[in-house]
Amino acid sequence: MTLAALIAAYHEAEEPGGGLRATLSLAGRTVLERQAKLAAAAGADPVIVAVERVPPELLGAIDRLRAEGVKLVVARDAAEAADAVHPGDRLLLMADGLVAAESHLDRLIDMEGHAILTVADVRVDDRYERIDAYSRWAGLALIDGELLKRTAAMLRDWDLQSTLLRRAVQSGARQIAVKGEPADDELIVAERSEDLTELQARIFEGASARRRDWVSRFLLSPLEQALTRSLMGTSVTTTALSLAESLLISLAALAFASNWLWLGLLLMLLATPLDGVCERLAALRLQDGEGPSWWSYLLPALSGAALLALGYMLAEGRGWGCIVVAAATIAFGVALHLETEGRELPGRLWLAERKGMSWLMLPFAAAGLWGTGLGVLALYAAGSFYWAQRQMHRRG
């Protein structure tokens, strides 16, 4: 059966300046965008947004979602929402202003028939709709298209979200209580910006904690965090950042080839934070589960070209061995990537990668030991490869 999602986006936020709950800001994007991306990642097609009016903030969110490939249907009333689904479709209902984790959606989607996610009455306030004396609705429910169509036919002036919840309860929907796990801290029905302050801080720190290379975690982390904070509320895309990084590395290769070694190294160093900022923004915007892009192949290739250009220029004064050392470094780097791709290894944080190698070259360049630095990079790449290979064989 097809999975669809219905997101309510018409309740007013309790903000001094007005606005909708759906357009409250969370990590630089609206709550609606986070809801729709989660639903789409869970397999919902289409994602139906139930609205009564479309202010500019909501229209902008809808346009961004469509540009990112989310199949979105805007329903001005219950009848339009019902027309967008088949009676046999499974329908994921998401409350207005809800922020949830992927694990919450997975729990419901794995269920058969109607199901409702609940939270104990003593743990929450009136933002969560009451079901009975002991439990309230946590903001997620799994129903079907037939229930939506029947509800739309008799809705009149009643609230669609609340009416669907009541009818799901009356139909004997299974009630699934939240477990009190760490992910449940991300389950919030927001009515105002203050409701999201603590959650936004946790989401941002979570995106920062994913760094798997030593240079981003220990050296570039403050800069990457500052850049991410300044960019997360803007229209700057991860593609634009990857393009800027590619341009800097390409210019670095040209600078090395022109014997402007310091300029080339500075350009390589300037490019290193952009990769981390790009990954952090992707995590905040729920774009990090979309699989590897062609940038993940282009950027290492450009970095390899820059290293070869450096080896070529150093060969003029130090012999052709510099080119061999540069090529060997690239070969070990490729082998390391193939050996470790998709695997978790002890000490992976310290293995050779292009950003760390750029910074490792800096002290040798400062001492005028460019050739020595190139040799150290080769040893670092080779040692990392043999370490990874040993760990893999030990596991096998």
Task: Name the most confidently modeled range: 29-33, 108-112, 183-187, 236-240.
Answer: 29-33
CATH number of residue 214's parent domain: 1.20.120.1760
Q: Does residue 150 share a domain with residue 218?
A: no
Whole domain around residue 256: which residue ranges?
Answer: 210-395
Contacts of 263 (CB under 8 A, 6+ apart): 252, 255
d(CA 286, CA 105): 14
Percent share of the chain, pLDDT over 70? 95
Q: Has residue 342 been placed in a domain?
A: yes
The amino acid present at 9, given as its one-letter code, is A
Residue 201 lies in a domain: no
163 domain residue, yes or no = yes
Chosen domain end from 193, 220, 249: 193
Q: Distance between CA 253 and CA 259 in Å, rounded? A: 10
Q: Are 179 and 216 in the same domain?
A: no
- The mean predicted confidence, pLDDT, of the chain is 89
Domain identity same for 253 and 186? no
Q: Which of the residue ranges 72-76, 284-288, 295-299, 326-330 would you say has the lowest mean pLDDT?
A: 284-288
- Structure confidence at residue 392 as a pLDDT band (50, 70, 90): confident
pLDDT in tens, 354-390: 999 999 999 999 999 999 999 999 999 999 999 998 8
Residues 249 and 282 in one domain: yes
Q: What is the CA radius of gyration of the chain?
A: 26
Query: Distance between CA 133 and CA 135 in Å, rounded?
Result: 6
Q: Angle at CA 345, nearest 5°, toward 291 and 273?
A: 55
Residue 154 sits in the same domain as residue 51: yes
**SS (HEC) of 168-229:** HHHCCCEEEECCCCHHHHHCEECCCHHHHHHHHHHHHHHHHCCCCCHHHHHHCHHHHHHHHH
Is 136 in the same domain as 221?
no
Instruction: Tell me, yes or no, whether 52 lies in a domain.
Output: yes
State residue 123's pLDDT score.
79
If asked whether residues 221 and 175 sit together in one domain, one would say: no
Q: Does the pTM exceed 0.85?
A: no
243 and 217 in one domain? yes
Task: Say what the pLDDT of residue 101 is.
Answer: 87
Q: Are residues 216 and 311 in the same domain?
A: yes
Cα separation, 334 vs 118, whole angstroms:
49
For residue 56, pLDDT beyond 60: yes
The CATH number covering residue 12 comes to 3.90.550.10
Which of 193, 228, 247 is the endpoint of a domain? 193
SS3 category, 142:
strand
Domains: count for the chain = 2
103-118 pLDDT, tens digit per residue, is 899 889 988 889 999 9
The answer on 164 and 58 residing in a single domain is yes
Please indicate, yes or no, whether residues 140 and 8 belong to a single structural domain of this protein.
yes
Structural domain contains residue 324: yes
* Same structural domain, 180 and 232: no
Residue 200 located in a structural domain = no
Domain stop point among 133, 166, 193? 193
Does residue 156 surpass a pLDDT of 90? no
In a domain, 217, yes or no: yes
316 found inside a domain: yes
